[in-house]
A and B are shown apart, each in its own frame.
Chain A
Amino acid sequence: MRSNLKKWLAGYYQFWLNNRLPAQKQQRLQQKNLFIFPSLLGACYLVLITIFWLLGTNYANNLILGLCYLLISIFLLSIFHTYLNLHGLHLAVGNSKPVYAGELAQIELYVMRRLKRQYNSISIGWGSSLSQVIDWQGEDKVLVKLPVRVLQRGLFQPPRVSLKSYYPLGLMRCWCHLAIDTTVLVYPSPVKFDNTHSSSSAGELQEGNLSSQIISGQQQEFQELQLYRNGEPLTQVAWKQFARSGVLYKKHFTDYASDSSALNWHNYPGVEPEMRLQYLCYEALEFAAQQRSFSLQLPGVEIAAADTKSHLNAVLSALALFQINPDLSSTGQY
């Protein structure tokens, strides 16, 4: 019951926050998105003020009462000072480089201040775990890189950024939770394909001594079964499968010696889709490292062979976004 209520409250809070502070490319810290409340130290300060008041009242000591009122006014003033320390700052999104799943994504944010104003001791980070203090070093525009660990490939939308400040006296906590309108492309994490991990059907195929054949002096490796079309050499027909299913399949072999290699979704039969993407990613990186041209074939996606840098990026992003609904964002762990 209680946890339900808690859940509902948390959900409602997120809903309220999303409504009030929607994601934006550029944000200006102002009254609408800044929150302020006395910190624990501020609460202790109020206790001190109460003690002063009791002391002054009980001893009918006007000077101590005067001090008490001075402390009250400083408490009130610190609301303004703390608020002004964040007010007017601009937050803009920088370019974020794609990362591989499981790595730390560096979200780049530009924090800009107006001229002639001092902003001190502002910490910036994700949620409650605040990591960095903005170090202006005399500049008016500071690049802040916030690391966040991303576990899933796809388009990663970072969580809300929190800016927090206790300046000047620590009596007040002024903060904001800003949703930043940016996404990070997350490639699948590259994993080397290991035969021992392959599924039974692929193993069966290899058992039939189809894994390697020598055709016209070139080493070829069995890759997958394709439907047989008329006119193709009968030597490539998978008779065993024909006997089992009555459908003519052709054994497709990959030519390792050729310059142009094809990365294909169907190269890893029986493997889970996410794993296939990870294997493909590894292969693509391998090819790129060897500066060989390669092509990519995914269901519904086809990228012609090339060996340029942009080609690699295109391939990797195709792997990252394969069957990803762009509206759904993945979540990261931070």
Chain B
Amino acid sequence: MAAVVGKLATISIGWLMLGYCAALLPLFAYLPFWMLALAGLTLGWQLQIYRNKISAPGKLVKFLLVVGSVALLFYSSGNLLSLRGFVGLLCLAFCLKLLELQVKRDLYLMVFLGCFVSACQLLFSSSMSAFVYVLICILIFHGCLYSAQLQPQHGVDERQAKGGAGAKFRFSSSHWEIVKSVLTMFLQGLPIAIVLFIVMPRVGSLWQVPINSDVAKSGVSDSLSVGDISRLNQDNSPAMRVTFDDNIKPDNSKLYWRGIVLADFDGKTWRRAEKISTTALSATQRSQLYQFDRATPAQTYSYQIMLEASGQNWLYALSTAQVDNPQIKQWQDYSLTRKTLLNSRFQYQVRSHIGYKADPEPLSEAQLRLYTALPSNSNPRTRALAQQLASQYTDTGRLIDALLQMFQSEFSYTLEPGKLTVENPIDDFLFSAKRGYCEHFASSTAFVLRAAGVPARIATGYQGGQWSSDESYLLVTQAAAHAWVEVWLDSRGWVRLDPTTAVAPQRIAQGADSYLAQLQSATGLSSRFNQWGLLREMRLRLDSINYQWHRWVLGYDNQLQFNLVKQLLGGVDSWRISLLFLLAGAIAISPFALIKLWRSRLSFTDNNLRSVAKLEKKLLKFGLSRARGETLANFLQRSASQTPENRQALKQLSAAFNTLLYDPRHDSDKLVRERIQHLLKELKY
């Protein structure tokens, strides 16, 4: 236990304090603000204790500090059993333990706590930069462990030399030594860690843990109100990333990422219809989908979606989706939800059937009522318009065409439509404002259709996306949020109808990002978007790296592991897996083996052996070969007896080789080798 008990060296304390600051700093964003003060207080206190300015706190002070801070934490975070409460407690322990830093055991405890605190950061942020930062923190703590193992007399000397006065953290050569050694260990450990990461099987959660439930709700909302937002903010944060199988790249106009279906309208706001969106997909619908999948695979896209944490549980997919994932539920309107809220990124595989006719058989009475229901007293002018159109066009297709025609000729697309009246917003939009974005058009179209007796509903989600710089995946940003209409047509079922295409066809063709950017720069909303091209390029590149990180590191799960192993080994049998483990072991060991080999190479005998090989090669031309186990001297003697004309030269060679190989003095090696070279040339055929 000699290593556990002992005085602390200045160098160890310096490293520990560095690690202390580094580990806590990013966590303050998630912790109550007073913890920053507490951490600073304990750090300063310990520094003063170390410099012998004040004495270590007594038992009562420590007790009061612990009780007080835990109570404060309970007061400010409310629940100590939540993730934040748990991390808060951990940080509290880390801060307060610093005051007790006396012997090596305290230092070790601080180091372990520190490693744990640094890792907790990854519960909140999983970006690459956060990971690198945590790695640095852990490296510092290992440096602290390393410094504690350095020769103790160093520390004693230093401490005595400095006395109590100057406990400065000087950057001396020993610090470099520590950095170098620890970095070497980390670099050597990296291949083993990577192999372990790839190979080690993932076990699902062992028990329920408090999760980070404070994810801000983002993305498409579950209701749509017309006219209560006067200006749409452009949010370029990613919503999801999609990788299509087989490198298929569908047109932008086909990329309608359908999320929520809104069928319930109260005159102002579209909401989900409870009845539909809580009824699971019927067996008939399911079998129809399955049959379609078997019959026409050409009209099917297969792809993988990585959805950002939204705090909600909607999932998105192209047109009619088919999923095979026990975590995902599909409802009667073909919308998808996950069983639990998306508090972290979620990755799922979807097959979408583009040409699929959803519910082509006539709607039931109840469904018809639901999809044509409108509040009786709102928007009278729009109702009149709908009546007029209905009487004018008996064919629903022509009715829609007329409506779109109207939009195209009289309406314009804008991100700043201004507010609409509260009582009859659709009347206001259709007859006076005539400017708006997707929500206005979708909502008013659905209203008109319903008023004309045509079943219609609103679908919200995203439209379009940007291909990554290497075109391997599609990035969909929050700016691509979109709303459109689904209309039920006889014998065709539910058909997508996007009124925005009539007003702003480029919005659909080019995608939201570039179109909206043009729109903004044209109206002079923001001049910095003039350099948008370059910015966009950079953002896409960054996102590409990020995506690969998310996909291969964060999203590396059993499925991916299985696929990777299958791809690498051509199958997943037990013998192949054991082979992989062996291979992994070999890879991990190979650097050491190589170093060992490199060190043990015969540097001086190499040249001698080469000379022997040269001699043997030369004599082989005479038809003389050295027998197994025959000594060189014997061989040369035998050769001399068989080739009398070379007897003299071979005798001299024998003597020279004897000197070269067995003379303990190596100073004349070079001369002897030259002589052998010379003699070899003299051998005559």
Q: How far is the CB of A191 from chain B (nearest CB, A)?
A: 38
Q: How far is the CB of B30 from chain A (nearest CB, A)?
A: 15
Task: List B585-600 residues whose CB lies under 8 Å from chain A.
Answer: 588, 592
Q: Does A156 contact B (CB under 8 A)?
A: no
Q: How many residues of B contact A (CB 8 A)?
A: 53
Q: How far is the CB of A41 from chain B (nearest CB, A)?
A: 6
Task: List B1-21 residues whose CB lies under 8 Å from chain A.
Answer: 1-4
Complex interface bits, B124-163 against A, C-beta within 8 A gives 1, otherwise 0: 0010001100110010001001101111110000000000
Partner of A57 from B130, B192, B202 at Cβ < 8 Å = B202
Q: Does A51 contact B (CB under 8 A)?
A: yes
Q: Does A290 contact B (CB under 8 A)?
A: no
Q: How far is the CB of B9 from chain A (nearest CB, A)?
A: 12
Nearest chain A residue, comparing its CB with the CB of B1: A40
Residues of A within 8 A of B193 (CB): 66, 69-70, 72-73
Q: Give the distance in Å from the alpha carbon of A80 to the alpha carbon of B112 in the complex.
A: 22
Stretch among A164-172, A206-214, A299-307 lining the B interface: A164-172
Instruction: Offer 21 A-B interface pairs, CB within 8 angstroms, sorted by A.
Output: A44-B112, A48-B116, A54-B206, A60-B344, A61-B123, A62-B197, A62-B554, A64-B123, A69-B192, A73-B190, A73-B192, A77-B188, A77-B189, A120-B150, A130-B2, A168-B181, A169-B142, A169-B146, A169-B149, A169-B185, A170-B145
The answer to whether B3 and A77 have CB atoms under 8 Å apart is: no
Q: Does A133 contact B (CB under 8 A)?
A: yes
* Sample of 12 further A-B pairs with CB below 8 A, known A55-B123, A59-B123, A60-B344: A40-B4, A58-B206, A58-B207, A61-B123, A62-B554, A63-B122, A80-B592, A120-B149, A133-B151, A168-B146, A170-B108, A171-B145
Q: Does A324 contact B (CB under 8 A)?
A: no
Q: Give the distance in Å from the alpha carbon of A225 to the alpha carbon of B1 in the complex.
A: 62
Q: Does A321 contact B (CB under 8 A)?
A: no
* A-B residue pairs, 4 tightest by C-beta: A73-B192, A73-B189, A69-B196, A70-B193
The answer to whether A72 and B196 have CB atoms under 8 Å apart is: yes
The answer to whether B185 and A78 have CB atoms under 8 Å apart is: yes
Q: How far is the CB of A192 from chain B (nearest CB, A)?
A: 42
The answer to whether A61 and B3 have CB atoms under 8 Å apart is: no
Q: Does A76 contact B (CB under 8 A)?
A: yes
The answer to whether B2 and A169 have CB atoms under 8 Å apart is: no
Q: Does B211 contact A (CB under 8 A)?
A: yes
Q: Does A265 contact B (CB under 8 A)?
A: no
Q: How far is the CB of B316 from chain A (nearest CB, A)?
A: 22
Task: List B204-258 residues whose CB lies under 8 Å from chain A.
Answer: 204-207, 209, 211
Nearest chain B residue, comparing its CB with the CB of A61: B122
Q: How far is the CB of A175 from chain B (nearest CB, A)?
A: 11
Q: How far is the CB of B474 from chain A (nearest CB, A)?
A: 23
Given A57-B203, A63-B554, A135-B151, A74-B185 contact (CB < 8 Å):
yes
Residues of A within 8 A of B3 (CB): 39, 41, 166, 170, 173
Residues of A within 8 A of B2 (CB): 123, 130, 164
Nearest chain A residue, comparing its CB with the CB of B118: A67
Q: Considering residues A59, A65, A80, which has the most beta carbons from chain B within 10 angstroms of its beta carbon?
A: A59
The answer to whether B206 and A69 have CB atoms under 8 Å apart is: no
Nearest chain A residue, comparing its CB with the CB of B109: A44
Nearest chain A residue, comparing its CB with the CB of B588: A73
Q: Does A149 contact B (CB under 8 A)?
A: no
Partner of A48 from B112, B189, B206, B553 at Cβ < 8 Å = B112
Q: Give the distance in Å from the alpha carbon of A170 to the alpha carbon of B152 in the complex.
A: 13
Q: How far is the CB of B15 from chain A (nearest CB, A)?
A: 13
Q: Give the distance in Å from the alpha carbon of A67 to the alpha carbon of B557 in the complex.
A: 16
Q: Give the distance in Å from the alpha carbon of A44 to the alpha carbon of B205 in the complex.
A: 24
Residues of A within 8 A of B592 (CB): 80
Q: Does A121 contact B (CB under 8 A)?
A: yes
Nearest chain A residue, comparing its CB with the CB of B200: A69
Q: Considering residues A58, A63, A69, A77, which has the most beta carbons from chain B within 10 angstroms of its beta carbon?
A: A63
Residues of B within 8 A of A64 (CB): 119, 122-123
Q: Give the distance in Å from the alpha carbon of A77 to the alpha carbon of B206 in the complex.
A: 29
Query: Which A positions have Cβ atoms within 8 angstroms of B?
Result: 39-41, 44-45, 48, 51-52, 54-55, 57-67, 69-74, 76-78, 80-81, 120-121, 123, 130, 133, 135, 164, 166-171, 173
Residues of A within 8 A of B188 (CB): 73, 77
Nearest chain B residue, comparing its CB with the CB of A39: B3
Q: Does B186 contact A (CB under 8 A)?
A: yes
Q: Give the distance in Å from the alpha carbon of A34 to the alpha carbon of B588 in the complex.
A: 24
Task: List B491-538 residues whose CB lies under 8 Å from chain A.
Answer: none
Q: Does B115 contact A (CB under 8 A)?
A: yes
Q: Does B556 contact A (CB under 8 A)?
A: yes
Nearest chain B residue, comparing its CB with the CB of A169: B145
Q: Give the distance in Å from the alpha carbon of A73 to the alpha carbon of B191 in the complex.
A: 9
Task: List B87-140 residues whose CB lies under 8 Å from chain A.
Answer: 108, 112, 115-116, 119, 122-123, 126, 130-131, 134-135, 138
The answer to whether A63 and B131 have CB atoms under 8 Å apart is: yes
Q: Give the distance in Å from the alpha carbon of A59 to the alpha carbon of B554 in the complex.
A: 12
Q: Give the distance in Å from the alpha carbon of A45 to the alpha carbon of B1 in the complex.
A: 16
Residues of B within 8 A of A48 (CB): 112, 115-116
Q: Give the distance in Å from the alpha carbon of A173 to the alpha carbon of B1 in the complex.
A: 10
Given A69-B193, A73-B193, A133-B151, A57-B554 contact (CB < 8 Å):
no
Nearest chain B residue, comparing its CB with the CB of A171: B145
Q: Give the distance in Å from the alpha carbon of A162 to the alpha carbon of B52 in the complex.
A: 37
Nearest chain B residue, comparing its CB with the CB of A128: B2
The answer to whether A70 and B186 have CB atoms under 8 Å apart is: yes
Q: Give the distance in Å from the alpha carbon of A61 to the alpha carbon of B588 in the complex.
A: 24
Q: Considering residues B1, B3, B134, which has the most beta carbons from chain A within 10 angstroms of its beta carbon?
A: B3
Q: Give the distance in Å from the alpha carbon of A2 to the alpha carbon of B552 in the complex.
A: 58
Q: Give the distance in Å from the alpha carbon of A54 to the alpha carbon of B116 in the complex.
A: 12
Q: How far is the CB of A30 from chain B (nearest CB, A)?
A: 14
Partner of B119 from A67, A74, A168 at Cβ < 8 Å = A67
Q: How far is the CB of B282 from chain A (nearest CB, A)?
A: 33
Q: How far is the CB of A64 from chain B (nearest CB, A)?
A: 5
Q: Give the distance in Å from the alpha carbon of A70 to the alpha carbon of B189 in the complex.
A: 6
Residues of A within 8 A of B123 (CB): 55, 59, 61, 64
The answer to whether A66 and B151 have CB atoms under 8 Å apart is: no
The answer to whether A74 and B205 have CB atoms under 8 Å apart is: no
Given A52-B119, A69-B197, A74-B4 contact (CB < 8 Å):
no
Q: Give the distance in Å from the alpha carbon of A29 to the alpha carbon of B152 in the complex.
A: 23
Nearest chain B residue, comparing its CB with the CB of A74: B189
The answer to whether A61 and B126 have CB atoms under 8 Å apart is: yes
Q: How far is the CB of B669 from chain A (nearest CB, A)?
A: 22
Q: Give the distance in Å from the alpha carbon of A39 to the alpha carbon of B203 in the complex.
A: 29
Residues of A within 8 A of B152 (CB): 121, 133
Nearest chain B residue, comparing its CB with the CB of A78: B185
The answer to whether B153 and A135 have CB atoms under 8 Å apart is: yes
The answer to whether B146 and A63 have CB atoms under 8 Å apart is: no
Q: Give the distance in Å from the alpha carbon of A58 to the alpha carbon of B211 in the complex.
A: 10
Residues of B within 8 A of A41 (CB): 3-4, 108, 145
Complex interface bits, B168-189 against A, C-beta within 8 A gives 1, otherwise 0: 0000000000000100011011
The answer to whether B553 and A67 have CB atoms under 8 Å apart is: no
The answer to whether A58 and B209 have CB atoms under 8 Å apart is: yes
Residues of B within 8 A of A66 (CB): 131, 193, 197, 553
Q: How far is the CB of B129 from chain A (nearest CB, A)?
A: 12
Q: Give the distance in Å from the alpha carbon of A45 to the alpha carbon of B108 in the complex.
A: 10
Partner of A121 from B115, B135, B151, B588 at Cβ < 8 Å = B151
The answer to whether A57 and B150 have CB atoms under 8 Å apart is: no
Q: Give the distance in Å from the alpha carbon of A74 to the alpha carbon of B141 in the complex.
A: 13
Nearest chain A residue, comparing its CB with the CB of B189: A73
Nearest chain A residue, comparing its CB with the CB of B108: A41
Q: How far is the CB of B476 from chain A (nearest CB, A)?
A: 23
Residues of B within 8 A of A73 (CB): 188-190, 192-193, 196, 588
The answer to whether A44 and B108 have CB atoms under 8 Å apart is: yes
Residues of A within 8 A of B149 (CB): 120-121, 166-170
Q: How far is the CB of A145 from chain B (nearest CB, A)?
A: 16
Partner of A133 from B138, B153, B196, B211 at Cβ < 8 Å = B153
Residues of A within 8 A of B148 (CB): 170
Complex interface bits, B329-344 against A, C-beta within 8 A gives 1, otherwise 0: 0000000000000001
Q: Give the distance in Å from the alpha carbon of A55 to the alpha carbon of B210 in the complex.
A: 11
